Structure 1
């Protein structure tokens, strides 16, 4: 069975409704491993060896986080700096090269409405434009970029809406897993 690694980068998942709800919705999907990176590294000191091995054991990667001031949380940036810098600039031949083609999907929550994320919207940029640094990272590392999963109004969703978003996430994740499985010859 293939393995899908979901790395959650929420500063305080215990206080999260949206990110915690999304993780709950995908908990138990066959082959999915969920890791709360902030819980493991509360001070932000990433164990590079552990994380490199975790990543090398995966067949696909999901980076899940809340958008904060148009960027990733600090723990996600610390993880990228520690793990990908090591894999792609220090140990490319033995590690980074092994990730070539690894499918990657971003799962992001945002507090504002979809209308706010338009050229003429309150935030001036689309969510896809705001995700450009992660897409550039995926390109630089040779990872296969997949359509992101985006939840808007994360803090304002009713319990029913949150459940619906969780179902949508589980469905998109399942579809992505099936689509990214190696084809038998």
Structure 2
């Protein structure tokens, strides 16, 4: 069994149509520790020792957030700046995160075709999340392709909320049960609601 840590960031959860329900889903999965960073640190006074201990105690780290300005809400940058210290996360003696897996779970307002070489943003989301991938690399972590829910702004009116929630629930449970193909996910460009290709069959590994 793997231990999964979800670090959630949304500056306006009261206006969140997708991320807040997804976070509620995460809180209900056994084996998942779900932390709302804005609720826990409203003044950005991040307790580095607490966060580092959380990292030590988990195998898979998830940043769950809306895809704001091709990145994540500001508290996640603050969290990285303070928590991923030299000597802890990187450097000669910074080996605490080596071998752990990291993934962005994110919502995007645009449709999938907007995130392609020929689309509106001229790039896929994994490429746009390169700073997170390089951070994971520096820390000796396995970076997994982002799990993306597109068209988030229309999910409610198009009755897709339960589709996204069920997919996230499936993802988290597969990770906890060691049935999520981490190697395949590390090589993919993105992961969407269709998870069949990433769920291992038979005995857990």
Q: Do Structure 1 and Structure 2 share a fold, with TM-score over 0.5?
A: yes
Report how far residue 138 of structure 1 moved.
0.7
For 1:111, the equivalent position in structure 2 comes to 109
For 2:167, the equivalent position in structure 1 comes to 168
Instruction: State the TM-score, normalizing by the size of structure 1.
Output: 0.88
| Cα 1:142–1:180 shift into 2, 3 Å | farther
From 142, 146, 149, the counterpart of 1:148: 146
Query: Do 1:5 and 1:58's aligned partners in 2 also have CA atoms closer than 8 Å?
Result: yes
Whole-angstrom CA distance in 2 between matches of 1:27 and 1:88: 26
| Cα 1:136–1:42 shift into 2, 3 Å | same
Report how far residue 133 of structure 1 moved.
1.1
Whole-angstrom CA distance in 1 between matches of 2:49 and 2:24: 28
Query: Do 1:61 and 1:105's aligned partners in 2 also have CA atoms closer than 8 Å?
Result: yes
Whole-angstrom CA distance in 1 between matches of 2:59 and 2:163: 27
Partner SS for 2:161: helix
Q: Give unpaired runs (5+ residues) of structure 1.
A: none
Query: Do 1:103 and 1:180's aligned partners in 2 also have CA atoms closer than 8 Å?
Result: no
Whole-angstrom CA distance in 2 between matches of 1:169 and 1:184: 19
Whole-angstrom CA distance in 2 between matches of 1:27 and 1:164: 17
Whole-angstrom CA distance in 2 between matches of 1:7 and 1:184: 25
Deviations 1:91-130 (A, max 9, x none): x63xx31211011121011111111111111112111111
Whole-angstrom CA distance in 2 between matches of 1:139 and 1:105: 12
Structure-to-structure mapping, 1:63-142, within 5 angstroms = 63-86=63-86, 87-88=88-89, 93=93, 96-142=94-140
Query: Do 1:5 and 1:34's aligned partners in 2 also have CA atoms closer than 8 Å?
Result: yes
| Cα 1:161–1:144 shift into 2, 3 Å | same
Query: Do 1:12 and 1:38's aligned partners in 2 also have CA atoms closer than 8 Å?
Result: no
For 1:27, the equivalent position in structure 2 comes to 27
Comparing 116-125 and 151-160, the one that deviates more? 151-160
Which structure carries more helix by proportion?
A: 1
